[in-house]
Amino acid sequence: MNDIKIPPIELKEVSTHTIVVNYNDYFDLNAGAVILNHFIIVIDTLFYPKQAEEFRKKLERNYKLPVRYLFITHYHADHLFGIASFKDVEIFGSNILIENMKKRKEGNWTKEAFDEWKKEEPELKNMIDEIEIIIPKRGFDDKYVITDDDSQVEFYHSGGHTGCSSYAYFPQEKVLFTGDELAVGFWPFISDPTGDPEKWIQTFEYILTLNIDAIVPGHGAVVGKEYLREELSFRTKLKNVVLNAIKEGKGPKEIEVPEFKYEPAEEWQIPRALEFLHNYYSKKNE
Ligand SMILES: [Zn+2]
C-alpha cells in the first residue's frame, strides 16, 4: 500500500501579518498564524505531524522568526494531531481543552485505537505513527492575551461547537480565527456532545460587534462578517423550529429543517444535529 500523498503547505496572507494554510482533502481544513515583531503564534496544527512540521518550517524560514506559541482552538483531531511538531513551544488553549484532551488520551487516543485506525487506512500508517499527543501546559478560563511591543492577540473561550472551543482575534489587522465555531461552505457541525448551541449563538452575536475585515474559519474559505450574519440567522431559525417541535410534542425526526445554502459534509450530520438540539432544548425547558 502506498502512502497517502499530502500536498505541500502553502502560506497564504490573510492580512500583512496573518497567515492561513489549508488542507483541502480533509473538509477544507485550515490552520493559521499571526506574525508579531519578535515571534510567531500558530493557531492549530493541521491534521498530521508532517504537515505541522512543514507549516512551522516555512513560517520560520519565511519570516525569520521563531514560533513561540501554539494555540489549539478545540480538541478535535484534525486541528491538533500535528501537535508533536510544537513540543518546544508554549502550547495553550482553554482550561476545558486540557480536560477534554486528557479524557480523549485515556479513552479514544490509545495505542489500540491508533492500531485500529492504521488497519482501516493503511495508506496513513506512517502519518499515524508520528502522532504524539502532548497536553498543553497553559490554560485560560475566559480570555488570554499575548503582547509583543504594541501588538496584541486576544484569545476567547466561547464553547459552542465543542465545550472547549475558543477563537483568536488580532485587532490591529481586524482578523479573527474562529476554529470550528465556523465552517464555511458546510452545513454546521453541531452534534459534539460537549457543545452548547446557546453559547454558540451568543458567540456569533458577540463576534459581530467586533471590528473585523476577515474571518478565518476552521474549515473553508476566508469570509467577511456577512457570512457570519447569514449563519447566525440560520442558527436562530433552526433553534426556533426545534423549540416549536418540542412545544408540539414532536420528535427530532419530525422536524423540518430550514433552508441553508450548503450541504452537510457527511449524511449523518443533520439527523444527529436535530437529535442533539432537541435533547439540549428539551432539557433546558424542563
Ligand atoms: Zn471541530
Domains and CATH numbers, the chain: 12-224 (3.60.15.10)
- Say how many Å lie between the CA of residue 76 and the centre of ligand 1: 5
- Say how many Å lie between the CA of residue 161 and the centre of ligand 1: 7
- What is residue 284's predicted lDDT score, i.e. its pLDDT? 81
- Say how many Å lie between the CA of residue 40 and the centre of ligand 1: 23
- Say how many Å lie between the CA of residue 249 and the centre of ligand 1: 31
Q: Quickly tell me which residue has 435533547 as its cell.
A: 279
Residues pairing with 146 in the sheet: 153
- 43 by DSSP, 3-state: which? strand
- Say how many Å lie between the CA of residue 74 and the centre of ligand 1: 7
Q: What angle do CA 175, 149, 16 make, to 5 degrees?
A: 35
* pLDDT by residue, tens only, the chain of 286 residues: 578 888 999 999 999 999 999 999 999 999 999 999 999 999 999 999 999 999 999 999 999 999 999 999 999 999 999 999 999 999 999 999 999 999 999 989 999 999 999 999 999 999 999 999 999 999 999 999 999 999 999 999 999 999 999 999 999 999 999 999 999 999 999 999 999 999 999 999 999 999 999 999 999 999 999 999 999 999 999 999 999 999 999 999 999 999 999 988 888 999 999 999 999 999 986 6
Q: By C-alpha distance, which of 117, 35, 137, 42 is closest to 82? A: 42
- Say how many Å lie between the CA of residue 285 and the centre of ligand 1: 27
| C-alpha separations of 286 from 81, 249, 281, 283 in Å | 39, 13, 9, 5
- Say how many Å lie between the CA of residue 90 and the centre of ligand 1: 22
Q: At residue 14, what are phi and psi to the nearest 5 degrees?
A: -90, -45
Average pLDDT, the chain: 96
**Torsion-angle region of residue 149: left (phi > 0), alpha (psi -120 to 50) or beta?**
left
- Say how many Å lie between the CA of residue 197 and the centre of ligand 1: 14
- Say how many Å lie between the CA of residue 265 and the centre of ligand 1: 12
- Say how many Å lie between the CA of residue 180 and the centre of ligand 1: 5
Beta-strand runs (E) in the chain: 12-15, 18-23, 29-35, 40-43, 67-71, 90-94, 138-140, 143-148, 151-157, 166-170, 175-183, 214-219
What letter would DSSP give residue 21? E
Buried b (16+ CB within 10 A) or exposed e, 267-280: eebbebbbbbbbeb
Extract long-range pairs of 115-121: CB within 8 Å, 24+ residues apart. Answer: 121/4
- What is residue 18's predicted lDDT score, i.e. its pLDDT? 98
Q: Considering the entire predicted model, what is its pTM?
A: 0.96
Would you say 67 and 44 are in contact if contact means Cβ atoms under 8 Å apart?
Answer: no
- Say how many Å lie between the CA of residue 182 and the centre of ligand 1: 9
- Say how many Å lie between the CA of residue 136 and the centre of ligand 1: 18
- Say how many Å lie between the CA of residue 239 and the centre of ligand 1: 20
